[in-house]
Amino acid sequence: MATTTQRKTRKGPRVRVSAAARRKEAVGAESADGRYGLLTAALVGVAIGAGSSLLFRRQTSIRKRLPEPGRLRGYFDSAKDSLDGYYESAKESLDSFVDTELNDLRRAIKRRRRKLGL
**Residue that wins the pLDDT comparison between 17 and 40:** 40
What is the pLDDT at residue 46?
Answer: 87
**SS3 state of residue 96:** helix
DSSP per-residue codes, 43-85? HHHHHHHHHHHHHHSPPPPHHHHS--HHHHHHHHHHHHHHHHH
Residue 79 confidence class, pLDDT cut points 50, 70, 90: confident
Domain that includes residue 78, residue range: 71-118
Reported as a single tens digit per residue, the pLDDT across 42-78 is 888 888 888 877 777 766 655 566 666 666 677 778 8
What is the pLDDT at residue 54?
Answer: 74
What is the pLDDT at residue 113?
Answer: 93
Cβ(67)–Cβ(75) under 8 Å?
yes
Tally of domains within the chain: 1
What is the pLDDT at residue 72?
Answer: 67
User: Does residue 43 sit within a domain?
Assistant: no
What is the pLDDT at residue 28?
Answer: 52
User: Does residue 99 sit within a domain?
Assistant: yes
User: Does residue 25 sit within a domain?
Assistant: no
Reported as a single tens digit per residue, the pLDDT across 80-102 is 888 888 888 899 999 999 999 99
User: Does residue 106 sit within a domain?
Assistant: yes
